[in-house]
Structure formats: C-alpha cells, structure tokens
C-alpha cells in the first residue's frame, strides 16, 4: 500500500486526557492480577450503587426477597432460584448502566435514534428480568407467607 493511502488513527482530543482521573489511570490497562480485576469490578458496583437509583432499589428488593426466603425456611433450591433471579436483575442493571454510559460517551449529549434504541433495549432487558424475578419470588414466597399469616391470625 502506498504511503498516501495508509490510514492513520484519529488523533486523541486533548480534553480526553483531563477526563481521566488519577485513580482511574490504571483502568485503561489490563489488570495485572486477580486482585486488581476484583478492584475494578467492585468500583463498577460501587459506581452503580452510588449513582443509579434503580440499582439501589433492586439491591433492597433482592435483599428483602432473600431474607424473607431464609426467614420462611424455604428449601435450599428455592433460595438458590431466588438468589439467581435476583443476581440476574442486578447484573443486567450493571450492564444497562455500562451501555448508557458508553452511548452517552459516543453521542456526546446529542440525540440519535440508534442511541435511544440501545438505551431503551438495555432498560427493557432489566425490566423483563425484574418482572421474572417478581414472578419467581411471588411463586415461592407467597404460599408459605400466607400460611404464616393465617396461623398468626388463628392463634
């Protein structure tokens, strides 16, 4: 390929360097060990908890569902199913946050129909998982909860 036809990478905007804080400088590199990988993962979870109202709501509801399943002495497999569905909701909420951040970075606060579709679909995935988690929790928690309430009323 002649020199005139070579494609060079786009220049890095000078303001991009100022966006990277000192504590996140290493995030641009591959984690050097497992501890650093977990540190980055925890940073993502912490970010979502601090900034995303829906993530905090999901954490509270998941904690309530698992606590109630333990209080009602559900079978271990039922507790596991509630834990798995709850974990799926939290994982999808984290992915939704990541997708929203990436889209915002890409479109730079301008409207684009494809950005809307990406954000709406990611939010839709969270909604579907949350509805399934509610269905599972209701199926497993309501019958023993109803029995407990009825026995308390009759005594």
93 is catalytic: yes
Distance CA 7, CA 134 (A): 52
Identified catalytic residue from 17, 93, 100, 113: 93
Q: Which CATH number fits domain 39-154: 1.10.287.3610, 1.10.3720.10, 3.40.630.10, 1.10.10.10?
A: 1.10.287.3610
**Tens of pLDDT along 73-120?**
999 999 999 999 999 999 999 999 999 999 999 998 889 999 999 999
Distance CA 52, CA 94 (A): 9
The residue among 44, 86, 45 whose CA lies nearest residue 65 is 86
Tokens 């946050």 sit on residue = 97
Q: What is the pTM of this model?
A: 0.78
**Tens of pLDDT along 11-68?**
444 544 444 455 555 556 677 888 989 999 999 999 999 999 999 999 999 999 999 9
Phi and psi for 123 in degrees, rounded to 5? -65, -35
């Amino acid at each position: 390929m002649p020199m005139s036809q070579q494609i060079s990478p786009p220049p890095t905007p000078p303001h991009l360097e100022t966006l990277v804080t000192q504590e996140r400088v290493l995030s641009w590199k591959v984690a050097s060990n497992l501890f650093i990988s977990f540190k980055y993962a925890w940073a993502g979870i912490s970010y979502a908890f601090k900034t995303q109202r829906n993530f905090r709501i999901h954490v509270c509801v998941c904690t309530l569902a698992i606590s109630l399943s333990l209080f009602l002495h559900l079978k271990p497999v039922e507790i596991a199913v509630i834990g798995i569905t709850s974990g799926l909701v939290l994982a999808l909420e984290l992915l939704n946050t990541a997708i929203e951040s990436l889209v915002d970075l890409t479109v730079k606060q301008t409207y684009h129909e494809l950005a809307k579709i990406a954000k709406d679909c990611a939010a839709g995935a969270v909604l579907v998982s949350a509805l399934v988690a509610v269905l599972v929790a209701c199926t497993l928690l309501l019958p023993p909860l109803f029995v407990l309430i009825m026995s308390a009323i009759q005594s």
